């Protein structure tokens, strides 16, 4: 009808709602909180991972833990600054590696489940808030879910990290010598994309599991892709900024490494939480059937 207001396009409505909800819910503050808990949870997480990997050497070989340690340091080097690597990550990983096996049966290791799952619980809280489903669960079950997801992450890490760290070296000797150079080139080209795809799929699964009223699994993919893009852009910008600061001669002194490390953790948290808000915006504009405990529904409280 002439003169009637045109309905905004779905993409515009999604972006508008994403920005409005992210600002109203203080996503920057939520990301800072998650970054704090990620930092606090890092030693317990590595303690649990390396402690359990020490017992998995019988399946993957005697150098499994060392190979995983080197792989984590190599991957982290692409995200964090040199100062953060030299002063925080490498010493922490090396120290925990020497004590992890002895701690795996100690009370300290049991207590690490609580502190090590705090970051995961923070993400679960943020995802449920984005979808207006935070009041649905009791705080006890919400915290328990964080611990269960932490344990699941450890179990998956025990299997996938050795495969990621040792896989190419173990598989290439099985390839005929005539095609080994080509196979090595293929592995080198596909290695990073495969890692990114696995992380995106894992994050998509987290977006589904964290919610009491669950949308279809595919509804988590847009948020996971956005999270990957935000993280890559943020990490690249952080490294360029730190390189520029170092080049100007200005320095944060002893605080340089902690600041760089916390900023890296902050971008990880911001990426994950923004992805959750994108999924929530899409669900509002284009609702999909929701399920809870096998029962199908159409709406959730607050949606």
Which residue would you say has higher pLDDT here, 81 or 261? 261
The pLDDT of residue 20 is 92
Q: Please compute the mean of the pLDDT values over residues 154-163 and round it to a whole number.
A: 68
The pLDDT of residue 129 is 92
> Buried b / exposed e across 88-122, counting CB within 10 Å, b at 16+?
bbbeebeebbeebbebbeeeebeebeebbbbbbbb
DSSP string, 19-56: HHHHHHTTHHHHHHHHHHHHHHHHHHHHHHHHHHHTTS
Which residue would you say has higher pLDDT here, 63 or 219? 219
DSSP state of 80: S
Query: In terms of C-beta density within 10 A (0-12 exposed, 13-18 middle, 19 or more buried), how is residue 129 classed?
Result: buried
The pLDDT of residue 275 is 94
Nearest-angstrom CA–CA distance, 231 and 65 = 27
Confidence of residue 1 (pLDDT cuts 50, 70, 90): very low
The pLDDT of residue 127 is 93
Of the ranges 136-145, 241-250, 251-260, which is most confident?
136-145
Nearest-angstrom CA–CA distance, 188 and 41 = 32
Of the ranges 33-37, 69-73, 74-78, 129-133, which is most confident?
129-133
Confidence of residue 7 (pLDDT cuts 50, 70, 90): low
* Tokens 């009808």 belong to residue: 1
Query: Helix H segments across the chain?
Result: 10-24, 27-53, 57-60, 64-77, 82-84, 90-103, 107-116, 118-130, 139-171, 180-209, 221-248, 256-285
The pLDDT of residue 11 is 83
Query: In terms of C-beta density within 10 A (0-12 exposed, 13-18 middle, 19 or more buried), how is residue 128 classed?
Result: buried
Flag whether pLDDT at 303 surpasses 70: no
Under a CB-based contact definition with an 8 Å cutoff, are residues 272 and 34 in contact?
yes
């Amino acid at each position: 009808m002439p003169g009637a207001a045109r309905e905004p396009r779905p993409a515009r409505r999604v972006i508008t709602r994403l920005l409005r909800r992210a600002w109203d819910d203080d996503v920057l503050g939520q990301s800072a909180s998650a970054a704090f808990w990620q930092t606090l949870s890092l030693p317990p997480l590595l303690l649990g991972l390396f402690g359990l990997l020490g017992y998995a050497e019988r399946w993957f070989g005697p150098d499994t833990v060392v190979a995983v340690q080197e792989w984590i340091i190599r991957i982290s080097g692409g995200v964090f600054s040199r100062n953060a690597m030299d002063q925080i990550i490498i010493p922490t990983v090396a120290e925990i590696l020497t004590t992890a096996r002895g701690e795996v049966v100690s009370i300290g290791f049991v207590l690490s489940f609580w502190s090590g799952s705090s970051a995961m619980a923070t993400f679960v809280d943020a995802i449920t808030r984005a979808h207006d489903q935070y009041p649905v669960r009791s705080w006890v079950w919400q915290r328990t879910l964080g611990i269960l997801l932490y344990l699941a992450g450890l179990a998956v890490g025990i299997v996938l990290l050795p495969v990621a760290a040792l896989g190419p070296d173990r598989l290439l000797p099985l390839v005929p010598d005539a095609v080994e150079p080509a196979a090595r080139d293929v592995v080198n080209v596909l290695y990073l994309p495969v890692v990114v795809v696995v992380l995106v799929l894992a994050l998509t699964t987290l977006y589904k599991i964290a919610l009491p009223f669950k949308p279809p699994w595919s509804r988590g993919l847009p948020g996971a892709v956005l999270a990957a893009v935000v993280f890559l852009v943020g990490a690249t910008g952080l490294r360029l900024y730190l390189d520029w600061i170092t080049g100007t001669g200005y320095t944060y002194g002893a605080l340089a490494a902690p600041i760089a490390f916390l900023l890296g953790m902050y971008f990880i948290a911001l990426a994950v939480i923004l992805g959750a808000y994108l999924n929530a915006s899409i669900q509002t504009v284009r609702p999909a059937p929701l399920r809870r405990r096998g029962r199908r529904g159409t709406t959730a409280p607050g949606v």
